[in-house]
Structure 1
């Protein structure tokens, strides 16, 4: 709970930069990475966005790679399945398991690398945004894009109370641990059921308190979201343009290159 994404986003030097510029960089990276037919471009996008997050955003490298390892772990399972069960052509290697032959073809391995590179490229772009821009500023961007007010307000309340309930859950679990609530499987199962029940009751109580507090403050159906104007400086435009041009050149000249 001490190290959440918003903590790093609030302290990041890139927080003071224009939100629309950061969104355009992220959207460009995601679209180009998904559109690339070669894994080279998405891998390059992942490297560039990771470097920008760590070097310019001042995010600790250990923390960054730890959170990046979570989606990477999930995608590695998919990559192994794709490599073994998709693609045709000559087998790079194969072996027998219970009378069945399993092998990896060049087409399957190329597809697996492409999926891996696209995932890493997209996740690095999203982590760049989440680690340099607090959520409240993203809500102001949504407000400026004329999203429905009800959608934005529900999203703001959900995001706020995620951490309230996490804090409550951590407190309850700590109290259960002090009372040996997880000493064996049966006790752990019972403690988890009690934890879920208490969270449901607390969420109901928090919803009623929120309703009363908003009505007491003359809530008229709209939440005010502050939008701070940040001009885009010339060095930022030059650096972003050079990055876009470089990625487009790599995308064009590697569109027919396969690693395998």
Structure 2
């Protein structure tokens, strides 16, 4: 499953031994800077730097990274197309009124707005993928506990994270069994088979929850799960690289204020 591949990449990437605090600071700060930017150049600069770090420092496969970008980029492009058509503006390049209450147009202002939104999405997704591909969830749970996040929130997140993978595995096994039995050979059969898959997955997840509760009781669960993540020290070279990146990105945000495509 692709979700398992993400965790595998996070566990084996080239930045695995780098401090989790530094990687979170880089990703979250990049998102904030993308939101603060008023020009399109700064988010593109952030996306370029973080993508280079993912591909060269973390040594993530280019195809994996591109596949991860494909789905959010597709949604972003559709959203940008809508923004361009309905935003309006003074400098009109194309206009169409298909209905009395609906006017579609392409203007200089709408193109600038749509391109700016697209660049923000690209920059933010690069930051999120940087965190996802370089930081395993176990390390994030450790950071959450260090940051004094309530224990019940961490435990709930750990249970949800475990249940996601269990449910995906159950759905995959049930689906493959149905395909081998020609459960999706026709439209009627597909509807019936899909309903059976949903019901079976629900029952399996319910049983898994009961098993988890009994296992927790057997191990004298007292309201706090044990965490297996590692505490890695903050080293000088990664810290200097982070500081240099944040200074450069902040300078790009200030220097490119209001920059537009057209």
Q: TM class, shorter-chain normalised?
A: over 0.9
75-84 vs 235-244, which moves further = 235-244
Asked if structure 2 preserves the Cα contact closer than 8 Å seen for 1:39 and 1:114, the reply is yes
Deviation of the 1:102 alpha carbon: 3.1
Q: Does 1:154 align with 2:150?
A: no
SS in 2 for 1:102: strand
Structure 2: state its 5+ residue gaps.
none
Partner of 2:8: 7
Asked if structure 2 preserves the Cα contact closer than 8 Å seen for 1:9 and 1:130, the reply is yes
1:85-106 deviations in whole A, cap 9, x for unaligned? 0031111334565797632111
Asked if structure 1 preserves the Cα contact closer than 8 Å seen for 2:112 and 2:260, the reply is yes
Normalized against structure 1, the TM-score is what?
0.95
Structure 1: state its 5+ residue gaps.
none
Task: Provide the C-alpha distance between the structure 1 equivalents of 2:35 and 2:94, rounded to a whole number of angstroms.
Answer: 29
SS in 1 for 2:225: coil
65-74 vs 83-92, which moves further = 83-92
Of 249, 254, 260, 2:256 maps to 254
Asked if structure 2 preserves the Cα contact closer than 8 Å seen for 1:176 and 1:191, the reply is yes
Partner of 2:92: 91
Of 168, 190, 193, 1:188 maps to 190
1:151-184 deviations in whole A, cap 9, x for unaligned? 1101101101111111111111101001100011
Deviation of the 1:204 alpha carbon: 1.1
SS in 1 for 2:10: helix
1:218-260 deviations in whole A, cap 9, x for unaligned? 1111111145232222221222222112111211111022112
Matches within 5 A, 1:232-247: 232-247=234-249
Partner of 2:18: 17
Task: Provide the C-alpha distance between the structure 1 equivalents of 2:146 and 2:21, rounded to a whole number of angstroms.
Answer: 11
Asked if structure 2 preserves the Cα contact closer than 8 Å seen for 1:37 and 1:256, the reply is yes
Task: Provide the C-alpha distance between the structure 2 equivalents of 1:13 and 1:39, rounded to a whole number of angstroms.
Answer: 30
How many residues end up aligned between the 2 structures? Answer: 260
SS in 2 for 1:248: helix
Partner of 2:128: 126
Task: Provide the C-alpha distance between the structure 2 equivalents of 1:98 and 1:214, rounded to a whole number of angstroms.
Answer: 61
Partner of 1:50: 51
Asked if structure 2 preserves the Cα contact closer than 8 Å seen for 1:36 and 1:42, the reply is yes
Relative contact order higher in (CA < 8 Å, ≥ 6 apart): 2
Q: Does 1:40 align with 2:41?
A: yes
Task: Provide the C-alpha distance between the structure 1 equivalents of 2:31 and 2:88, rounded to a whole number of angstroms.
Answer: 25
